[in-house]
Amino acid sequence: MASDPSNNVSTKQFSIRPATYSELSTIANILTKAFWNDELFGNIIHPNRNVFPEDNDLYWLRRARVNWWDWSHVYLVSVIRDRDRAEGEAVIAGVAVWQRIGTLKKDMALNIFDPRRLAKPLAKVATDLQARIWPNRAADPGNEDIIERSYHYLDHMWTGKRADSWYLECLGVHPNFQRQGHGRALVRWGFQQAEMEGVSVSVISGDGKEEFYRRCGFETQDGWSGMGEGNPLRIAPGGLIYWKDVEYDAEGDIESK
């Protein structure tokens, strides 16, 4: 779910704020465009996207409608005033999905008796039913869930001193607004949260995006999304895991900065 709006980040050109549920369709379309030429999300997962371009949005939209109700997820958007539109209408230029992994994830969860706990499982049932009735024709059915099938091969990476982490699950900027600082600003939000909480930051890099994440502050490369025998993501290029680790002193306490 979206975080407290007090965590908004603003610049003269654009602002970073929590997304709203009504913006999920727009978010899905932006991610489709941002990852159109990506080897994993494009050629492997959506080989038929040129034939059924609008169906590609369903991949992102259905997952967003479920994960929105997972309180460890934070959907952020970068908003810019588009001077080409009437009265400088605000448009969404970029999207980031952050997930809080670890012990504090439990603190973000709802009380066991809160009826809102039913929202995610109900959303999952609804989207699964929709997928059966209206399948994503742009996708390869055998690879549409390739990322979900890889999860358990990577769980061990988020253990020990990295058990608590802000994980950048997804980052995409509309092609019309790339190279304008939106991606960096969306990444910065997670770094700020992690610094306040004294936890690590992590990301699985897309192919060719490694240098971008290093410039954003991810200092350590450790792990790969295709690691582990039988991991279906072995066929995908890229996937290096990057970290900004917590620094500890000689006594094992987090160093103050």
In this structure, is residue 249 part of a structural domain?
no
Q: Is there a domain that residue 252 lies in?
A: no
33: containing domain? 5-244
In a domain, 214, yes or no: yes
* pLDDT surpasses 60 at 94: yes
In this structure, what token pair is assigned to residue 232? 């279906």
- Is the residue at 223 inside a domain? yes
Please state the domain count of the chain.
Answer: 1
- The pLDDT score that the predictor gives to residue 59 is 99
Say if 56 falls within a structural domain.
yes
Would you say residue 158 lies in a domain? yes
- Under a CB-based contact definition with an 8 Å cutoff, are residues 192 and 6 in contact? no
What is the rounded CA–CA span in Å between residue 116 and residue 69? 8
Task: Indicate the helix (H) or strand (E) that contains 18.
Answer: strand 14-18
Q: What per-residue confidence (pLDDT) applies to 5?
A: 36
Distances (CA, A) of 157 to 165, 185, 190, 239: 11, 26, 19, 13
Domain-embedded: residue 253: no
Share of the chain above pLDDT 70, in %: 84
CATH number of the domain encompassing residue 112: 3.40.630.30
Q: What's the count of helices (H) and strands (E) in the chain, helices before strands?
A: 7, 8
Please give the model's pTM, rounded to 2 decimal places: 0.89
**Closest among 133, 146, 124 to 226, alpha carbons compared:** 146
